[in-house]
A and B are shown apart, each in its own frame.
Chain A
Amino acid sequence: DTAVSQTPKYLVTQMGNDKSIKCEQNLGHDTMYWYKQDSKKFLKIMFSYNNKELIINETVPNRFSPKSPDKAHLNLHINSLELGDSAVYFCASSQKSVAGPLAKNIQYFGAGTRLSVL
């Protein structure tokens, strides 16, 4: 079974449409993330949820809205898609092993969703 699975793998859509990407993890982790990777491979964090609570909300257009129905799922809805939204979107999850600076916060990434806005 895939640890972090996201669907769909590919998404081709027209400008102005609304689309959703789903993510599920079966690792029992408390924290989930959405990252955007642009054409230059730059990985930028967008959002993070810990136990269904939003803990990281980077400067992203409010057309992007994450939703976490439970700690194993984190979905991303995008309204009014623009050309610049074309990228690979990665979901990830992590579980902090212990508190403090020695904590391991290893991120497990899904396979990615390649979004192309035409």
Chain B
Amino acid sequence: GQQVMQIPQYQHVQEGEDFTTYCNSSTTLSNIQWYKQRPGGHPVFLIQLVKSGEVKKQKRLTFQFGEAKKNSSLHITATQTTDVGTYFCAGGGSNYKLTFGKGTLLTVNP
């Protein structure tokens, strides 16, 4: 079955440093979604990428979808303490199922 690997598992940064998390799928994806889960909270949708090579930005967050539609990344520029949480990628197939990566827990030292 489809597997989505995400690295790193943990990342600790100083406030102001950049942060990147990477996802790789064992199969070609229809689309990829990114979610953020604050500590003690629930996953919240951030963005969906569907096109090969697509790049989307949300303020300090940059999302990329690879040319082969098998990998993706999320980059945060100049992290802030409000960025703390677990970031999940989720690969979408042709059905309703999303396969989530294991997430990257980001902690930010003020």
Binding site for B on A (CB under 8 A): 31, 40-45, 48, 50, 55-56, 90, 94, 96, 101-112
Work out how many contacts link A and B, with CB atoms closer than 8 A: 61
> Min CB distance, B69 to chain A, in Å?
10
Do A43 and B33 touch across chains, with their CB atoms under 8 A apart? no
Partner of B42, one of A56, A96, A104, A110: A110
A sample of 13 inter-chain contacts (CB < 8 A) reads A40-B102, A43-B103, A45-B97, A45-B100, A55-B95, A101-B94, A102-B31, A102-B50, A104-B48, A106-B48, A107-B35, A107-B43, A111-B41
Binding site for A on B (CB under 8 A): 30-31, 33, 35, 37, 41-45, 48, 50, 86, 88, 90, 92, 94-100, 102-103, 105
> Min CB distance, B87 to chain A, in Å?
11
* Main SS at interface, chain B: strand
Residues of A within 8 A of B90 (CB): 107
Nearest 5 A/B pairs, CB to CB: A109-B42, A43-B100, A101-B30, A106-B45, A109-B43
Do B102 and A41 touch across chains, with their CB atoms under 8 A apart? yes
Partner of B43, one of A40, A43, A44, A103: A43
Do A44 and B100 touch across chains, with their CB atoms under 8 A apart? yes
> Min CB distance, A26 to chain B, in Å?
16
- The closest CB in chain B to the CB of A6 belongs to B42
Residues of A within 8 A of B99 (CB): 45
- The closest CB in chain B to the CB of A90 belongs to B42
Do B98 and A107 touch across chains, with their CB atoms under 8 A apart? yes
Residues of B within 8 A of A90 (CB): 42-43
Given A31-B96, A40-B102, check contact A106 B50 (CB 8 Å). Answer: no
The complex places the Cα of A103 from the Cα of B96 at a distance, in Å, of 10
> Min CB distance, B51 to chain A, in Å?
9
Do B92 and A105 touch across chains, with their CB atoms under 8 A apart? yes
